[in-house]
Amino acid sequence: MKKAIKKWVLATLATVMTAMLLTGCQTSSDDKGEKTKEPKEPIVISTTGQHAFFSETNEETGELQGFEIDVWTEIGKRLNREIEWEIAGFPGIIELLDSGRVDAVADQIGITEEREEVYYFSDVYFYVPYRIVVAENNDTINGVEDLFGKKLGLLSDDIAYSYFDELDPDGKIEYVNYEDSSVVPMDVAMGRIDATLMSSLHIDSVKKESGLEIKGVGEPVYTENAGYPFAKTEEGKALRDEVNEVLKELTEEGFMEETALKWFGFNPME
């Protein structure tokens, strides 16, 4: 009888020790003995680092700064994940997502029907109005109809084309395609083309930094809905859903508005 009890005690102790060891492998403790979460893999985001107010590089420190950087830093904190940045030009930042090297893109990416066929998009977090930009001495263009018979410079994959299918259904505008966005406003100022389209948020800063004699005219031609694209995979959808939950929290708490006021001076969602 004593031998049987002894065997039962030893077996019970062994079971308890095994459970303790397994538990110790799954969690960690801080100095106070409190359980802490194991760190998750970082979220890798592509951005240009050259997009004024959204994603720019600090000239003194060389570090990224801007609205997108602040928002994703906070998203990382809420999800208990580090944020790692991959820098590339446009459309390189999109190509990084296509190749699976990044998890999302943060650089004022407009949502279109064509893009939604390829990517999962977050909820809209920014409304961006676009206006016509002409040379300073050009007083003949103030709206879309004034562009008929004129040269309009756009990037070859510009989101504007999805709007001009409706605004210019008969193809009366002569479109000039560019691969380098920095060349477009210069050609406008020099009269090589008649106009281009630019985010209302950036017209003054581009004019000031470049010294070009250009101006924005008329009412916004269209308003872009900006969202964060994710790969169209199960992992991409899961991350998109997590980010949407955080964006909702940040909006309700006023973080999105405060951050927009910090960088742009107004709330883009009003």
Which among 41, 43, 75, 107 is positioned nearest to 246, based on CA atoms? 75
Cα distance between residue 221 and residue 146, in whole Å:
12
Q: How is residue 173 annotated by DSSP?
A: S
Q: Cα 241 to chain center, whole Å?
A: 15
84 backbone φψ class: left, alpha, beta (φ>0; ψ -120 to 50):
beta
Which among 180, 201, 179 is positioned nearest to 133, based on CA atoms? 201
pLDDT band at 244; cut points 50, 70, 90? very high
E strand or H helix at 183: helix 183-189
Which among 38, 39, 41, 99 is positioned nearest to 231, based on CA atoms? 99
pLDDT band at 38; cut points 50, 70, 90? low
Which among 77, 80, 46 is positioned nearest to 64, based on CA atoms? 46
Q: Residue 213 above 50 pLDDT? A: yes
Which residue shows structure tokens 């991409």? 236
Cα distance between residue 261 and residue 68, in whole Å:
13
Minimum mean pLDDT range among 70-84, 138-152, 174-188? 174-188
For 54-69, letters b (16+ CB in 10 Å) and e give: bbbbeeeeeebbbbbb
pLDDT in tens, 131-158: 999 999 999 999 999 999 999 999 888 8
Instruction: Report the share of the chain in percent with pLDDT over 90.
Output: 74
Contact criterion met (CB below 8 Å) for 175 and 119:
no
Q: How far is CA 198 from CA 65, 133, 204, in A?
A: 22, 7, 10
Average pLDDT, stretch 208-233?
95
CB count within 10 Å of CB 20 equals: 10
pLDDT band at 14; cut points 50, 70, 90? very low
